[in-house]
Amino acid sequence: MPGKCGALSVADGKVLVRWDAVEKRGAPWLVFDWTEGAAPDRQQAASGSPVRRGFGTELIEGRVPYELGGLGQILIGPGGAHCHLAFPLRDGASVLETDAPQHAAVFGGALDMTGEADLSGHRILVVEDDYYQATDTARALQGAGAMVLGPYPNEEAARAEIEGQHPDAALLDVNLGAGPAFELAGLLTERGVPFVFLTGYDQDAIPKEFGHIERLEKPVELRLMVSAIAKIVARDSAPKRSTA
């Protein structure tokens, strides 16, 4: 929006910013609109050329809905950009109030999984509240042939998926915004779904009943995630020896 192409890049450009708190779905929401006027015309992409998705657009249309559970849209028209954001105002702990390290983002891109484990036919649940970590993890698993369930940013959404389907394995972030939580780990254990923890916490933060679960410490290479999932999938699907 602001910058070399937006309304603020020229002397007569204008920006109208409006925000309000409204009631929506029985909860308070913040609605924010940024509308430009008199912005310089943008060069149109040639017909058939791929549309470039910039970092700002990714934040608005991808990260805001994923992490905040709201809506994000940006439209470029005559006069400039119009950005619309709406998301629920929820009480929650700040990331500064936990002892977990800051999220490490990989920021997209293709991952060549040639020569890595084949996860074709396997349904892998991904639960991770950081948008970039979640989408990069999903791409890596899909590159290995997996069908990704999610990714999901919170326990509520993931629980609904688990109730509806039976994943073959799961990659589970320990901290989904309010410190370490293990309700989903308990549910996956009850359902017999093997999983791997993805976390920035030390081993001491993991309850004893989950002490045997592999813990991948952030930041972690995407190949290591795929390898860890492939290992537990193979172990879970291996024939069990009879003790009779």
> What confidence tens digit (pLDDT) does each residue in 107-155 have?
444 455 556 678 999 999 999 998 988 999 999 999 999 999 999 998 8
CATH number for 97-237 (one of 3.30.1300.10, 3.40.50.300, 3.40.50.2300, 3.40.50.720): it is 3.40.50.2300
Query: pLDDT at position 108, please?
Result: 44
How far apart, in whole angstroms, are the C-alpha atoms of residue 107 and residue 58? 10
Residue 111 · residue 143 · CB < 8 Å: yes
Instruction: Tell me the pLDDT of the chain averaged across its residues.
Output: 81
Contact partners, residue 53, CB within 8 Å, separation at least 6: none
DSSP string of the chain, one letter each residue? --SSSSGGGSTT-EEEEEEEEEEETTEEEEEEEEEEESPPPPPPPPTTPPPP--HHHHIIIIIHHHHHSSEEEEEEETTEEEEEEEEE------GGGSSSPPP----------TTS---TT-EEEEE-SSHHHHHHHHHHHHHTT-EEEEEESSHHHHHHHHHH---SEEEEESBSSSSB--HHHHHHHHTT--EEEEESS-GGGS-GGGTTS-EEESS--HHHHHHHHHHHHHHHHSPPPP--
Which of 41 and 242 is assigned the larger pLDDT?
A: 41
User: Is 0.85 surpassed by the pTM of this model?
Assistant: no
Give the start-to-end residue ranges of the domains of the chain: 7-88, 97-237
Query: pLDDT at position 10, please?
Result: 83
* Cα angle 14, 20, 22; round to 5: 150
pLDDT grade, residue 95 (50/70/90)? Answer: very low
Query: pLDDT at position 58, please?
Result: 80
pLDDT grade, residue 189 (50/70/90)? Answer: very high
How far apart, in whole angstroms, are the C-alpha atoms of residue 213 and residue 186? 12
Beta strands 14-24 and 123-127, pairing class? unpaired
- Reply yes or no on whether the pLDDT at 78 is more than 60: yes
Residue 202 is encoded by which pair of tokens?
């030390």
Residue 68 · residue 54 · CB < 8 Å: no
Query: pLDDT at position 102, please?
Result: 45
Query: pLDDT at position 242, please?
Result: 47
> What confidence tens digit (pLDDT) does each residue in 209-241 have?
999 999 998 888 888 999 999 999 988 766 554
